[in-house]
Structure 1
Amino acid sequence: MHQVFADTILVGARVITMNPRQPSAVAVAIRGGRFVAVGDAATLMELRGPRTVVEDLHGACITPGLIDSHMHPIQGIELAVGIDFGGVRDPEVFLAMLRAEADRVADGASGGWVRGWNVDYDVFSTLPMTAAAIDAATSPAPAFLMCFDGHTALANTEALRRSGITGARTFGDTSEIVVDERGTPTGCLREDSAFDLVLRTAPEYTRDETLERVRGILGGLSASGITGGCIMDGNPGTLDLLDELDGEGPGGTATSVTRAESGDPATSEAHETVSGLPVRIVSAMAHNPGYDEERTERYLAQRDRHGARWRGGLVKLFNDGVIDTGTAWLYEPDTHGDGNSSFWADPAEFERVVARYAAAGFQIATHAIGDRAIGTTIDAYVKAGVHSRRGAPHRIEHLELLADRDLARLAQFGITASVQPLHMQWRKADGSDFWAERLGPGRAALGWRVRDMIDAGAPVALGSDWPVAQTDARIGLAWARLRREPGNPDAPVFEPDQVLTPYEALQGYTVWAAQAQGDHDLGVIAPGCRADLVVWEDSPLDVGADDLLNLPVRTTIVDGQPLYAASAA
């Protein structure tokens, strides 16, 4: 009989398999991009052939590759432009940064626009969220600033003028051009349909620039052990871009190597991608209110598109906005009397769209932050059937405020809760942040009920929502375990009864995340599964949550190929 040899054998490791039938091992063997054996070194060395690469890891830890269940690496580059205002809460500092940027672009740099992103709502606790408040700092340049959650933007007077925004407009969703008592636009723009009016007039990236930036962002993910993720936005053009990045298209092969010295893995320029997609991608297309039949049919026709390391078959819907600005859909109004509306002008149309895509075999992911948005999304899924053609359960994204009645139904019907615990980083201990203030203390104490979801038996997946929050999966793991700022033991712990164990947090980024996208051969180290893995300096289960961010990733491997290797320096 012809002997089959492994391509690679890794020995001397602590292997966390996430496979309950074989929780741990010390060696793995890989052939053709899949695990062929998991166990002890002596047994696996029987698969060693003349060309087999054998590497002794000297006690390093192996886990399945991490999966970020919710991110926006393509749409994000359109929004994460200009000044990163992350961590800025002082209005004077904010305005000073705007003045400096206005000076920089005065000679035409950046197309002459003042752009910024990751703006904390707390800046506007004392500074009005109006064009007038930033005009002096930014004029004569047009300015467009995106808040951290991507749901609210602020434009200055010149940007409004160039965009032809002179008053309120009616959209097919709950997007809003905020106006004053005279009907004059204030500069505050809520949701995509409103702020897209300004973005259309702002400078755009060329195709080559877009490819370069997306390649850099995706390449940076592997520095924290991420081997895959779900893109939660897009259109057929997004799939075209992924196909181009993939390099080969359907059935092709693509490899890349990424090395990093240091820096933010999402933005570091120290990454060099050779070719192909450096991570495995499932990409959604966003269907918004008002899409006509022709556009819907075009979207439906994309269901089976795929490449070597990406596939479609997922549609993204919105059922509300965000709590911070009163656009989340709640069972009871917030403290300002807001929270009474679906994202859809006609909520029944949401149900019809869900049914249409479900019947066509798509997996559906719905943005639902408020409790009523979650409840009505569950209603629509149950009516349409809760599983896609590939068997993947439909998903709900965010679930920041979840009612008991709907917690039980998530578990009953097996609907995935895709949650981002690191979004709690904008909360304040005294409840004065915009999110908690609108909910009041009673409902704020019910935020991000991940522990309750798991205990109830609901499927859970974890992610970042980049550029809303950091891509580094170690930060996400730490927030799930701590529910406070990692590295700051004195920081407030939000709902300590909702913390996850180290193993549960890792499940949320591996096996559970894979199951959420319908992949049962990912997120687990077992024979026959895809060889996506991370080699860590130490076990992420043993390292304290406060120290996770400093846990080195030695190597990140996709399809058995090293795509990231830490610098030997």
Structure 2
Amino acid sequence: MPHASLVLRNARIYTQVRTDPWAEALAIVGDRIAWVGPDMGAADWVGPNTQVIDAGRRLVLPGLIDSHFHLLMGARALRDLQLDDARTVDEVQARLRAFADAHPEREWLTGRGWQHSLFARDGRPHRAVLDAVVADRPVCLVASDGHSAWVNTAALERAGILNGPAHQPSFGAVMMGEDGLATGELREAGMDFVRRLIPPLTRAEEDELLRRALRACAEYGITSVHNMDGDAQSLAIYRDFAARGELTLRIYVPLTIEPGTPEAAIESWVDETKDIHRAALDARAEPGEIPFIRTGCVKLFADGVIESKTAWMLEPYDDGSGERGRPNFDPDEFKRLITKADALKLQIFVHAIGDAAVRAALDAFELARKLNQPRDSRHRLEHIEVLDPVDLTRMKRKRVLASVQPLHAAFGSDPDNPWRRLVGPKRWAWGFPWRAILNAGVPMAFGSDWPVVTMNPFEGMRAALTRPKLDFSDARSHFPDHRLTLEELIAGYTFDGAFFEFQERDKGRIKPGMLADLVVLDTDLFNLPRADLEASIANTRSALTIVGGRIVHRALA
């Protein structure tokens, strides 16, 4: 028996193994778990160089997996003005004024996180509101969902669109006022007119921000993320971090496919990433070290978001406008690109918020399956904020996975947010329909969508444990209750997250042979009464985070 490099003892280990769900100690050899069992057996693994850690009867879980994340995008946003918790337009103005005073050296003032609920009772974002605070420098504030921007007159003038663009984008818009001038609200691709002008960060700045983001992940016990955007540039940055030993979590990186992407670009991505391609790693005759960066997947946006009416709906929004949103892709191009990616044995993530977008993605998956022959593809729908029940049956039949973000339902449950009003009562029962999805037997994993919301996975768990019914009726009503249990949530942030990236044989459970990706929590969630759990789970933090046998965060004495 080899001596362990690390032994964790005196713990309450929730293994996620159905036949043996609890243990007291474990031993790690290299980057793998070698033994799990009772505390009295731990001494057998201790040698002269073994690090022994007493967990103090704390709860130990498999490392948390965030299945919908934007690592580099979120890192870059850390230098921006943060508006996530700004509750009034006056507060946005005050923060912008202070931010401008604190950064006289910045040519552009950028921020993110403003909520659509700011304008629930008083119009839409307008440049004049920002001009009243900063008129001499361009300002660009991105909404919390990342699908709209609020800019001032200086930014519109720099972009040459104050009088409107020569051509509106096919997806999104530069919103125009009755005076014939742009209002300062940019939706979807309309944001590109301004964003392309913002000076990029230096590589040194980018690296430091990424280090901050990685430290934050480790403090929450996040050991893996499924990134939701990717290209050669971001992949090179991640590779550099991994080569220097600075990458402290595992990252699954897709190629972002946009309208106009040639099929050859998808082929090139496969050729250039063979060393970290999921299928190639899984096909090895002998198991080897699992790289911290993996790919073998692509990401497409089928639609936008409900709050700005860019999500694609089967029936019109409930505001009397007759609008249903529209698809991001030409339907034929969408099917062609998905069929090509599937033919290359790639896993496909599709952002689909509206029920029409969900249906279009399922249609495309079905066509690809027919043309390329069935396989274990594990294609995924991301978000699924509104679902037609007919399509739930199709998801189950076609083995399509559901990747959802619990904190997004907080937007839908906010009476000041336009989500409920635009979706309308007839569709509320199938809004964020997590319980229906799970009960249908469709696999579900959870993520944050950081930086859209906090990366804190325990905030996500709180939202899923406590979410109200969308009609605000009580527990006795017949309206669907889509709350989830603690056990379901832990599974969705661990084993199910691993399954969603074809890694269920390597992580997501605590048992011999699995990767030593673990988190020791400062709170035993299973020992809290229900009321205390709901009230305090969001305050949970990692006392110890281990990735591949290496301690990446320690607050444990």
TM-score (norm 2): 0.89
Cα–Cα, structure 1 residues 562 and 391, in superposed 2: closer, same or farther, change >3 Å?
farther
How far 1:551 moved relative to its partner? 2.9
Residue 147 of structure 1 deviates from its aligned partner by: 0.6
Q: Separation in 2 of the partners of 1:498 and 1:45?
A: 45
SS in 1 for 2:349: strand
Gaps of 5+ in 1: 249-253, 255-275
Structure 1 contact 328–373 (Cα < 8 Å) conserved? yes
Mapped partners of 2:206, 2:451: distance in 1:
16
Match of 2:314 in 1: 331
Give the direction of change, closer, same or farther, for the CA distance of 1:170–1:356 in structure 2 (3 Å limit): farther
Alignment partner of 1:241 out of 219, 237, 240: 237
> What SS is found at the alignment partner of 1:50?
coil
Task: Specify the SS of the correspondent of 1:383.
Answer: helix
1:549 alignment partner, one of 538, 542, 546 = 538
Distance 1:182 1:295, change over 3 A: farther
Residues 428/49 of structure 1: CA separation in 2 closer, same or farther (3 Å cut): closer
Per the alignment, residue 46 of structure 2 pairs with 48
- One of 254, 263, 267 as aligned partner of 1:284: 254
Give the deviation of 1:293 after TM superposition: 4.9
Q: Does 2:281 align with 1:298? A: no
Cα displacement string for residues 104-138 of structure 1 (whole angstroms, at most 9, x for unaligned residues)? 44xx4222x23221011122231542223322222
Q: Alpha-carbon deviations, 1:259-281, whole Å to 9, x = none?
A: xxxxxxxxxxxxxxxxx201111
Deviation at 1:33, TM superposition (A): 1.0
Contact in 2 for aligned 1:392/1:516 (Cα 8 Å): no
- Over 3 Å counting, the alpha-carbon distance change for 1:428 and 1:25 in structure 2 is closer
Residue aligning to 1:197:
193
The CA deviation string for residues 463-493 of structure 1, in whole angstroms up to 9 with x for no partner, is 10011111111111111211269xxxx9xx9
CA distance in 1, matches of 2:206, 2:344: 31
Counterpart mapping for 1:136-175 below 5 A: 136-165=132-161, 166-168=163-165, 170=167, 173-175=170-172
Could you list the per-position Cα deviations for residues 123-172 of structure 1 after superposition, in whole angstroms to 9, with x for gaps in the alignment?
Answer: 22315422233222220111111110000001211111112224235577
1:227 aligned to which of 223, 226, 232? 223
**Alpha-carbon distance between aligned partners in 1 of 2:478 and 2:501, rounded to the nearest angstrom:** 29
Residue 2 of structure 2 is matched in structure 1 by 4
The answer (yes or no) to whether the contact 2:58–2:524 under 8 Å persists in 1 is yes
Counterpart residue number, 1:260 = none
| Partner residue, 2:281 | none
Report the Cα distance in structure 1 between the residues aligned to 2:204 and 2:265, rounded to whole angstroms.
26
Partner of 2:110: 115
Deviations 1:212-265 (A, max 9, x none): 1012102211111111111101211111010011125xxxxx3xxxxxxxxxxx
Q: CA deviation at 1:46?
A: 2.9
Structure 1 segment 328-477 matched on structure 2, within 5 A: 328-335=311-318, 336-344=321-329, 346-385=330-369, 391=376, 393-428=378-413, 431-477=415-461
Q: Secondary structure at the match of 2:235?
A: helix
Could you tell me whether the CA contact under 8 Å between 2:78 and 2:209 is conserved in 1?
no
- The 1:391/1:213 distance shift into structure 2, 3 A limit, reads farther
Structure 2 residue ranges without an equivalent (≥5): 277-289
Partners of 2:485 and 2:512 in 1: how far apart?
27
Using a 3 Å threshold, how does the CA distance of structure 1 residues 57 and 480 change in structure 2: closer, same or farther? same
- Judged with a 3 Å threshold, the aligned counterparts in structure 2 of structure 1 residues 538 and 130 are, in CA distance, closer, same or farther, namely closer
Going from structure 1 to structure 2, the CA distance change for 1:153 and 1:389 (only over 3 Å counts) comes to farther
Alpha-carbon distance in structure 2 between the residues aligned to 1:229 and 1:472: 13
- Aligned: 1:216 with 2:212: yes
Q: Which SS does the other structure have where 2:17 is aligned?
A: coil
Whole-angstrom distance in 1 between the partners of 2:5 and 2:149: 51
Cα pair distance change 1:389/1:117, threshold 3 Å: farther
Given residue 334 of structure 1, which amino acid in structure 2 is its aligned partner? Y
Aligned to 1:262: none
Query: What secondary structure is seen at the aligned counterpart in 1 of 2:132?
Result: helix
Shift of 1:201: 1.5
Q: Is the Cα–Cα contact under 8 Å of residues 412 and 458 in structure 1 kept in the other structure?
A: no
1:567 CA displacement: 6.2
Distance verdict in 2 for CA 1:385–1:137, change over 3 Å? same
Structure 1 residues 20 and 48: alpha-carbon distance in aligned structure 2, compared to 1, 3 A threshold? same
Name the SS of the counterpart of 1:74 in structure 2.
helix
Letter in 1 for 2:454: Q
Distance in 1 (alpha carbons) for counterparts of 2:168 and 2:345: 29
**1 CA distance for matches of 2:427 and 2:381?**
20
The verdict on how the C-alpha distance between 1:171 and 1:214 changes in structure 2, with shifts beyond 3 A counting, is: farther
2:185 aligns to what?
188
Is the Cα–Cα contact under 8 Å of residues 28 and 34 in structure 2 kept in the other structure? yes
User: C-alpha distance in 2, partners of 1:551/1:75?
Assistant: 25
Answer with 204-213 or 115-124: which moved more: 115-124
Structure-1 separation of matches of 2:374 and 2:79:
37
Q: Distance in 1 between matches of 2:503 and 2:514?
A: 10
- 300-309 vs 448-457, which moves further: 300-309
User: Which moves more between the two structures, 325-334 or 559-568?
Assistant: 559-568
C-alpha change, 1:566 and 1:56, in structure 2 (3 Å) is closer
* TM-score using structure 1 length: 0.87
Structure 2: distance between partners of 1:496 and 1:215: 42
1:73-152 to 2 correspondence within 5 Å? Answer: 73-79=71-77, 81-105=79-103, 108-111=104-107, 113-125=108-120, 126-152=122-148
Mapped partners of 1:242, 1:180: distance in 2 = 43
Q: Secondary structure in 1 aligned to 2:274? A: coil
Distance of aligned partners of 1:305 and 1:81 in 2 relative to their CA distance in 1, 3 Å threshold? farther
Give the CA deviation at 1:303.
4.3
- 1:285–1:314: 8 Å Cα contact kept in structure 2? yes
What secondary structure, in the 3-state scheme, does the structure 1 residue paired with 2:199 have? coil
The whole-number CA distance in structure 2 between the counterparts of 1:79 and 1:370 is 27
- Decide which moves more: 39-48 or 449-458: 39-48
Rate the CA distance shift 1:56–1:389 in 2: closer, same or farther, 3 A.
farther
Cα offsets for 1:275-318 (capped at 9, x unmatched) = x2011111122110012355444334344353831112221100
2:544 and 2:556 in contact (8 A); partners too: no
Say which of 487, 502, 511 aligns to 1:518: 502
Q: Which moved more, 1:218-227 or 1:284-293?
A: 284-293
Q: Shift of residue 362 of structure 1?
A: 1.3
Structure 2: distance between partners of 1:534 and 1:527 = 16
Task: Name the amino acid aligned to 1:383.
Answer: L
Counterpart amino acid of residue 203 in structure 2: R
Does 1:312 find its partner at 2:295? Answer: yes
Q: Which moved more, 1:23-32 or 1:442-451?
A: 442-451
Distance in 1 (CA, whole Å) between partners of 2:461 and 2:249 is: 19
Letter in structure 1 aligned against 2:231: N
Pairwise CA distance, 1:197? 2.2
- CA–CA separation in structure 1 for the residues paired with 2:302 and 2:324: 12
* Distance change >3 Å, CA 149–CA 80, structure 1 → 2: farther
Q: Does 1:321 align with 2:304?
A: yes
CA deviation after TM superposition for structure 1 residue 446, in Å: 2.4
User: Displacement of 1:97 after TM fit?
Assistant: 2.8
What amino acid is aligned across from residue 306 of structure 2 in structure 1? I
1:303, 1:461 → 2: CA distance?
26
Please state how far the C-alpha of 1:432 moved relative to its aligned partner: 4.3
Contact 2:164 2:176 in 1 (8 A): yes
- The code of the aligned residue for 2:229 comes to D
